[in-house]
Amino acid sequence: MTADTTVTQSLDLAALARSYQSGALKPSALIDAVFARIAARGDDAVWIHLLPKAAVLVAAQELEARKHAGDDLPLYGVPFAVKDNIDVAGLPTTAACPSFSHIAQDTAPVVAKLMAAGALLIGKTNLDQFATGLVGTRSPYGAPSCVFDADYISGGSSSGSAVAVAAGLVSFALGSDTAGSGRVPAAFNNIVGWKPTRGLLSSRGLVPACRTLDCISVFALTCDDASAVGQIVSGYDGADPYSRDGSQRALPSAFHFGVPAHSDLTFFGDTAAAALFDQAIATLESCGGRRVEIDFAPFREAAALLYDGPWVAERLAAIGPFLAEHPKALLPVTESIISAASALKASDAFLAFYRLQELKRQTESTWRSIDVLAVPTAATIFKKSAVEADPLGLNSKLGYYTNFANLLDLAAVAVPAGFRSNSLPFGISLLAPAFTDDALCELAGRFHAARGGELGAMGTRLPSAAAHIHLAVVGAHLQGQPLNHQLTSRGAYLVTTTRTSTDYKLYALSGTIPPKPGLVLEPGFVGPGIELEVWAMNAAAFGTFVDAVPSPLAIGTAVLASGQQVKCFVCEPAALLGAEDITKYGGWRAYLARKDETSQRRDAAITTEK
């Protein structure tokens, strides 16, 4: 790849995968381009700690060697950043407080998983101090700006992470989200922000803000990218007392989405944002949704509890010992927020717990009538000068549609929804009860494709909904299996790893070369769901691929655990004669692994007998 082409390379995962698979790009060449982009932006206050380019190049070259050796690297050569309240061994963690800075001894599990999958860490990003704020201006390391207008705030607290993605410096970045820090900066920079179900991602290695509510979040250019990262970093962590293990829940294809009643909708005078929200509602309806007006009052009251109630005391609990030793370490605005906790009593906390439980009960009736809640991610966006003049009041306004999510145990995805006439972006958030993350990302992706537009601020257009066809594979075409090359040679790229709905069975077919499974729908059957990979390719490539599919396999349609329908390998009924039912293994890889274990035990027994 030429230098000029490398510099203009889009960093979304699909584009990177195509460039790597074609041989036009190597990770080491991409790193040269990434550091050139970072240098070209100058002092943009995005980074607190940028890794030395030489060290990242060494890591890239090691990755190239691993790939050549056949290692499975689903995030091969993908550059990413980490918010500087998340630990990476050997690097400083500051939480945007110089006195707090210390060298981390261990790497947070989510970061370790990403690096093991082939992602390349570029550096650690700026934030509102101790993740306290939604504005992105509360840092002694400077205030990142909205990528579309330097006079406007970037949003926070995950300011640097969002700007790094939107500016094309990394493909994705980790943030954190307690009150909306993983969503507001996404809206202000035209990218996707996924706030997972609490406990779905391990929070070990995260400097706590409100430990009972904190989530590590993901910023990405597309919902598919956020989902792909999510598949790698999600998972129960027994060493994290707040980790949770739950099955993902589907959303119906014909879904009902809630919208706050007109009296509860506020945009603080931003009429352009109000018009864009109306357009977003129409787009959701075109995606198969039916609008339902809801009573937003319990959500609004829950949001107010986060800062006006005793949860602010959790912030004091998180850093109390540090503050006792460094009483002058905080910025004045951060100190004013956290010091308010000193006036709270234990009884205040219990009263707030009781009220929150009452509000949760009130929202239960709402969730019986809707599947998804759609709200503006932020009502408006402010200039830096305005935030400087009123740091607390304007910050509070930015949390109107975000602060309730973790208190009410909701998953959320912030997704771009257009631009105002002054070229500032607007976004909406889709929220649903816990463990609907996969389905929310899929729905948000459909909305994003229907709205169209650019990815971040790099000028790359989001592919239209019809630009690529998704194909699910369950056997010999999986990564690392003998026919995977039939996908990669056509420029196909991996979108996500997931499972079918529960009413599918899997059979090991007899006499196929190489060995292949057959996927069969059996309505009413309740099984584990079958592991599969979803790949994407353009229509022409899909046509040549389908033309080469041999009997007894065929391409049909399968329903995923999220409720999404995709094209998928299915099996002709006649092929089941003599086939082995391997559904109990939950997937082809697990079946092959068990088969290998059985073979090894048999060989060992024969050797012993001899």
Q: pLDDT digits over 169-195, tens only?
A: 999 999 999 999 999 999 999 999 999
Question: Is there a domain that residue 460 lies in?
Answer: no
Q: Is the pLDDT of residue 62 over 80?
A: yes
Residues 302 and 359 sit within 8 Å (Cβ to Cβ): yes
The pLDDT, as a whole number, for residue 342 is: 82
User: What confidence score (pLDDT) does residue 467 get?
Assistant: 59
* Whole-number Å distance between alpha carbons of 18 and 31: 17
Nearest of 34, 39, 20, 36 to residue 77 by alpha carbon? 20
The two beta strands, 145-146 and 149-153, are antiparallel
Query: Is pLDDT at 40 greater than 60 in this prediction?
Result: yes
How far apart (Å, rounded) are the C-alpha atoms in residues 279 and 292? Answer: 16
Return the pLDDT at 394. Answer: 97
Is residue 155 located within the same domain as residue 281?
yes
Tally of CB atoms within 10 A around 108? 25
Host domain of residue 148: 3-451
DSSP state of 234: B
**Residue 472: its pLDDT value, please?**
94
Domain total of the chain: 2
Residues 447 and 481 in one domain: no
Bridge partners (DSSP) of residue 536 are 470, 493
pLDDT above 70 (res 602): no
484 and 444 fall within a common domain: no
DSSP annotation of 545: H
Q: Does 70 reside within a domain?
A: yes
On whether the CB atoms of residues 96 and 84 are closer than 8 A, the answer is yes
Q: Is 505 helix (H, G, I), strand (E, B) or coil?
A: strand
Instruction: Tell whether the model's pLDDT for residue 5 goes beyond 60.
Output: no
**Where residue 493 sits, what CATH number does that domain have?**
3.10.490.10
Q: Are residues 441 and 474 in the same domain?
A: no
Note the pLDDT of residue 428. Answer: 98
Of 100, 96, 76, the closest CA to residue 161 belongs to: 96
- Highest mean pLDDT (candidates 294-298, 311-315, 574-578): 294-298
| Among 217, 180, 186, CA closest to 200 | 217
Interior angle at CA 452, CA 448 and CA 453, nearest 5: 115
Predicted confidence band of residue 601 (pLDDT cuts 50, 70, 90): low
- The pTM assigned to this predicted structure is 0.81
Whether 315 and 350 share a structural domain: yes
User: Does the pLDDT of residue 1 top 50, yes or no?
Assistant: no
DSSP states of 389-454 as a string?
A: HSHHHHHHHHTTTTTHHHHTTEEEEEEEEEE-TTS-EEEEEEEEETT-HHHHHHHHHHHHHHH--B
* Last-in-domain residue among 419, 451, 483: 451
Amino acid at 498: T
pLDDT at 4: 43
pLDDT tens, 78-106? 999 999 999 999 999 999 999 999 999 99
Q: Does residue 31 surpass a pLDDT of 60?
A: yes
CATH code at 335? 3.90.1300.10
Instruction: Out of 66-70, 229-233, 513-517, 543-547, pick the least confident.
Output: 543-547
Domain match, 432 and 483 both = no
* Position 493 pLDDT exceeds 80: no
- pLDDT for 466 beyond 60: no
> Please, which pLDDT band fits residue 607 given cuts at 50, 70 and 90?
low
User: What is the pLDDT of the chain when averaged over all its residues?
Assistant: 92
Three-state DSSP class for residue 50: strand
Residues 229, 18 contacting (CB under 8 angstroms): no
Whether the per-residue pLDDT at 563 is higher than 60: the answer is yes
Residue 339: Cβ within 10 Å count: 14
pLDDT digits (tens, 9 = 90+) for 243-271: 999 989 988 878 999 999 999 999 999 99
Is residue 395 a part of any domain in this protein? yes
**Confidence label for 7 from pLDDT (cuts 50, 70 and 90):** low
- 369 and 502 co-located in one domain: no
* pLDDT band per the 50, 70, 90 thresholds, residue 609: low
Q: What is the pLDDT of residue 610?
A: 55
| Length, in residues, of the chain | 610
Q: What is the pLDDT of residues 378-407, one digit of tens each?
A: 999 999 999 999 999 999 999 999 999 999
pLDDT at 214: 96
Q: DSSP of 72-122, one letter per residue?
A: --TTTT-EEEEETTB--TTSEE-TT-GGG-EE-SS--HHHHHHHHTT-EEE
pLDDT of residue 435: 96
pLDDT at 8 over 90: no
Residue 457 lies in a domain: no
Which are the catalytic amino acids? Answer: 83, 157, 181
Q: Is residue 440 part of a domain?
A: yes
Residue 23 per-residue DSSP state = T
Domain membership of residue 463 (yes or no) is: no
Q: What integer pLDDT is reported at residue 291 of this predicted model?
A: 97
Q: Considering only 67-71, 137-141, 405-409, 464-468, which range has the smallest mean pLDDT?
A: 464-468
**Is 462 a member of any domain?**
no
Q: Is the pLDDT of residue 272 over 70?
A: yes
The last residue of a domain, from among 416, 451, 486: 451
538 pLDDT band (50/70/90 cuts)?
A: confident
Q: Residue range 328-352: average pLDDT?
A: 90
Residue 604 — very low, low, confident or very high, per pLDDT cuts 50/70/90? low
pLDDT digits (tens, 9 = 90+) for 91-150: 999 999 999 999 999 999 999 999 999 999 999 999 999 999 999 999 999 999 999 999
User: Of 401, 419, 451, which residue constitutes the final position of a domain?
Assistant: 451
Question: 411 with 357, same domain?
Answer: yes
In a domain, 133, yes or no: yes
* Whether residue 442 is found in the same domain as residue 504: no
Are 236 and 265 members of one domain? yes
390 and 487 in a common domain: no
Any residues with CB less than 8 A from the CB of 563 and at least 6 apart, and which? Answer: 250, 251, 252, 253, 439, 442, 501
